[in-house]
Amino acid sequence: MSNYNLPDDKGHFEQYGGVFIAETLMTAVTELKDAYAKFKDDEDFIREFEQDLKHYVGRETPLYHAQNLSKKLGGAQIYLKREDLNHTGAHKINNTIGQALLAKRMGKTRIIAETGAGQHGVATATVAARLGLECVVYMGEVDVARQALNVFRMKLLGATVIPVTSGSKTLKDSLNEAMRDWVTNIDDTFYIIGTVAGPHPYPMMVRDFQSIIGKEAKAQFAVQVGGLPDALVACVGGGSNAIGLFHAFIDDASVEIYGVEAAGYGLEKGPTAHAAPLCAGNVGVLHGNRTYLMEDENGQIIEGHSISAGLDYPGVGPEHAYLKDSGRAKYVAITDKEALEAFHTLTKVEGILPALESSHAVAYGIKLAKELDKDKHIIINLSGRGDKDIHTIAQIEDIEF
Amino acid sequence: MSRIKNIFQDLRKQRQKAFIPFITAGDSGLDNTFELMQVLVENGADVIELGVPFSDPMADGPVIAKSHERAVADGVSLHDVLTLVERFRKTNDTTAIVLMGYLNPIEVFGYQAFADVASESGVDGVLVVDMPPEEAYDLKQNLDNVGIDFIFLVAPTTTDERLAFLATIASGFIYFISLKGVTGAGHLDVNLVNASLVRIRQYIDLPVGVGFGIKDSATARVVAKNVNAVIVGSSLVAFVEKYSTDKDKMLASVGALANEISNAIK
């Protein structure tokens, strides 16, 4: 039985979420809301989504008992939800499959997306290629330069990548630019947002598509161990992989929930040094919803920092803001340095290269495991694989290929 | 009676249209904005829309988006814009001032504090681009209490149902967006404008101003026929950018275009 049923029909998670967009977008967003309401319980839609997740994405993903790591730490048992084993290498595709199937049913022929590190862009270009839809991806000029491999992947998949030169030339600006495209082309265009942010219904819809992660993990844990895990750990940028894991467990009060934000150079170094709005930000409105933001005293958005491009977003999904205030989830932060250490530890001990985003969750999971007894169980969401980050890591560690 | 209401009533008696220029406050400096406001008044502005700088102006095209960026880089805040209005009001009691911007600076300022300070400074209307009527209830109460008009956008895609809802919350005038797109986009479609106007007037009994995509006096003249006001932004802001280091030319160019458009519609 589930008691938790947010958001309400206006998209509010108490004071968070909502629909804060220009009038020019209202009709498109309402159309999307109505279409999603119509198809989310439609048997054909659900069947096609599930079939695609199974045969195209490769679900279900394993829940892997990291015995070596657990033994090395001497504390709680660590289980990894292996979203890195999905097609295209991260959880992002769970959502793009769902939204693209919706786009097709709505008769849209053109897909747009924003991307930071390029993972969501690749996942979008992938489904667009498969469904024969035109695909345009907005990506900050700075990100285009530092993620050349993903830019090339998107181009191979037939997408047009448009470098964004406005503002700080990163993820938040590519979201602005995608919104501008959408208002101009609302008749034939579907905007696939990559995280649980944006105006309602996006935070709810993306969560629903990602919630397969937690549903699987819950069932797998019950079979492998029995009962419920003691804690969940996932990294939070916009927060889609985290909400995907958490959602199935929200009503299970015995399960502790930890979201891990990027502390960058350290929270104490101020807002330009990290990307942790839940841990050190304030409430505001950006990109269509009310949530915690990195902002200055005048309400201008601050571009933070993280070693991981996927966590480097000044906002966070409104449901996380609600879960923080309600106390149901705890939000913590891990520095660049701690994430890098965790990256190396997991790679050496378990032979799994985690994405730098996921390395933040691994780092906190390691801290937490050490504090708990051996008979406790932690599930860490390994949201993506680390191949895409090898250049970043090599650069930091002065390694030349 | 509100200053905006007065202006539209007087113009209606004279069978004239209102000219509403937009500039971003603090773009090229607050002192320059102050002088630009004087120039706009001298050249026929009935209402001045002041853009409140925001780091993420999602609904704006490149020209106005860049003006926001420049002003934000100079540290221009909502507080500064309110101080600017207060300064303007010391010598001008007739031209209406509408603040146009995004919600977050107001959210951080606090709705009640914003309404109070805006009212004391002499602001007549507020248009929050990313606050549709569905989310506007609280701010509406605060603005109503101090007699500031809450101005809303209407798009060609706005449904009849939502027009009926807007009628219950909007005041001052309706800002009709003449095209599907961002500020400063290509030329507008006059037929589309006229078709939408018929629908708007079925539901809303307020003056209608049209904006987004009006670049010159020729377009302004055509579009003005069936509306109460013409709003021009990007073409003026483009001069502020172009002559950012030559104030005299900036003032002269903005004044000349304002004069041309104002004459075309009056």
Torsion of CA B160, B163, B167, B168, to 10 degrees: 90
pLDDT digits (tens, 9 = 90+) for B25-60: 999 999 999 999 999 999 999 999 999 999 999 999
Core vs surface per residue A292-328: b (16+ CB within 10 A) or e:
bbbbbebbbbbbbbbbbbbbbbbbbbbbbbbbbbeeb
Q: Which residues contact residue A389 at a Cβ distance below 8 angstroms, ignoring those fewer than 6 apart?
A: A308, A343, A355, A356
CA distance B175 to A225: 61
Q: Closest partner residue to B135 among A18, A180, A187, by Cβ?
A: A18
Chain B contact probe: residue of A9, A10, A180, A185 with most B CBs at under 10 A: A180
The pTM of this model reads: 0.96
Of A30, A183, A295, the CB nearest to B59: A183
Whether residues B130 and A285 touch (CB distance < 8 A) is answered with: yes
CATH number of the structural domain B3-265? 3.20.20.70
Helix, strand or coil, per DSSP, at residue A253? coil
The answer, yes or no, to whether residue A1 has pLDDT greater than 60, is no
If DSSP states are collapsed to H, E and C, what string results for B170-239? CCCCEEEECCCCCCCCCCCCHHHHHHHHHHHHHHCCCCEEEECCCCCHHHHHHHHCCCCEEEECHHHHHH
Q: Which residue of B has its CA nearest to A299?
A: B105
Residue A315 one-letter amino acid: G
| pLDDT tens digits, one per residue of A252-289 | 999 999 999 999 999 999 999 999 999 999 999 999 99
What percent of chain A stands above pLDDT 90?
90
Check whether the bond before A60 is cis (ω within 30° of 0). Answer: yes
Q: What is the pLDDT of residue A180?
A: 92
On average, the pLDDT of chain B sits at: 94
Which of A288, A245, A240 is closest to A18 using CA atoms?
Answer: A288
**Residues paired with residue B101 on neighbouring β-strands, in sequence order:** B128
Q: What is the pLDDT, as a whole number, of residue B1? A: 66
Domain boundaries, chain B: 3-265
Specify the amino acid at residue A353: L
Residue whose C-alpha is closest to residue A88's, from A133, A134, A149, A142: A149
Contact B132 A184 (CB under 8 A): no
pLDDT tens, B113-127?
999 999 999 999 999
Q: How many residues does chain B have?
A: 266
The side-by-side arrangement of strands in the sheet containing A110-115 is: A160-164, A134-140, A110-115, A189-192
Eight-state DSSP code of residue A54: I
- Strands A330-335 and B174-177 come out as unpaired
Pick from B128, B130, B166, B174 the residue to mutate for testing the A interface (most A CBs within 10 Å).
B130
Q: Are B255 and B43 within 8 A, CB to CB?
A: yes
> What is the mean pLDDT of the segment spanning A56-61?
98
Residue A21: pLDDT band (50, 70, 90) is very high
Segment B196-209 mean pLDDT = 95
Mark yes or no for CB contact A24/B177 under 8 Å: yes
- Pairwise CB contact (< 8 Å): B132 & A21: yes
Look at residue A2 in the predicted model and tell me its pLDDT: 58
**pLDDT interval class at B187 (50, 70, 90):** low
Task: Give the mean pLDDT of A69-98.
Answer: 98
Q: Which residue has the tokens 């839809």?
A: A133
What b/e readout covers B90-103, taking b as 16+ CB neighbours within 10 angstroms?
eeeeebbbbbbbbb
- Kindly identify which residue of chain B lies nearest to residue A186, measuring between CA atoms: B180
Q: If you count residue pairs, one on A and one on B, with CB atoms under 8 Å apart, how many are there?
A: 121
